[in-house]
Homo-oligomer: A and B are copies of this chain.
Amino acid sequence: MRLSSLADYAVVLMSAASRHCGAALLAEGKLNASTLALETGVPLPTTQKLVSRLSAAGLIESTRGIGGGIRLARPPASISLADIVEAVEGPLAITTCTIDGNHDCALEDSCTVKPHWGVINQTIRKALNDVSLASLAEAPAAQKIKSMEHTL
């Protein structure tokens, strides 16, 4: 039920990248894997690996060569946590039996549990979809931090 650490890192990296993505894209210093690793504290090799996956998923665009680098493929407001998590971890489903085309479960149709997972999946997906990169970059409301201490 926990997010993989790679997905966690990916969110941090994308958040950092969006801060570099002002009016002009590659304006304030060139943005590349090394820069991101330095800013976020994520190990460089891991950062490179994640950059690859995020690029393959179409969330960032990369130009190689001597003056190359990376940039967000879309504006921060149109990239959600769901996009990032899904890019790194694959289909966003809490149980494998709800992934379309999967028929490994012996119970299948007679299973009374399965339909409930669908509802829960939908809820989780919505929660992750409602948070965009743009809102992540905003300064955290002190109110939210305070209230969080009582949620777990």
Could you say which residues of chain B place their CB within 8 Å of the CB of A135? Answer: 116
A75-130 interface with B by 8 A CB criterion = 81, 85, 89, 91-96, 98-100, 106-107, 111-116, 118-125, 127-128
> Once bound together, how far apart are the Cα atoms of A88 and B91, in whole Å?
23
Q: Mark A34-45, 1 if CB is under 8 A from B, else 0.
A: 000000110000
Task: Count identical subunits in the complex.
Answer: 2
Asked whether, in the complex, the Cβ of B152 is within 8 Å of the Cβ of A98, the reply is yes
Residue of B nearest to A148 (CB): B118
A-B contact pairs, 10 of them (CB 8 A): A1-B85, A15-B112, A81-B116, A93-B152, A115-B141, A115-B145, A115-B148, A116-B136, A118-B148, A123-B124
- Shortest beta-carbon distance from A109 to chain B in Å: 8
**Which applies to chain A's interface (DSSP): helix, strand, loop or mixed?**
helix
Asked whether, in the complex, the Cβ of B118 is within 8 Å of the Cβ of A144, the reply is yes
Asked whether, in the complex, the Cβ of B1 is within 8 Å of the Cβ of A94, the reply is yes
> Once bound together, how far apart are the Cα atoms of A147 and B135, in whole Å?
31
Asked whether, in the complex, the Cβ of B112 is within 8 Å of the Cβ of A140, the reply is yes
Asked whether, in the complex, the Cβ of A3 is within 8 Å of the Cβ of B1, the reply is yes
The winner among A2, A12, A128, A139 for most chain B CB atoms within 10 A is A2
A1-35 interface with B by 8 A CB criterion = 1-4, 7-8, 11-12, 15
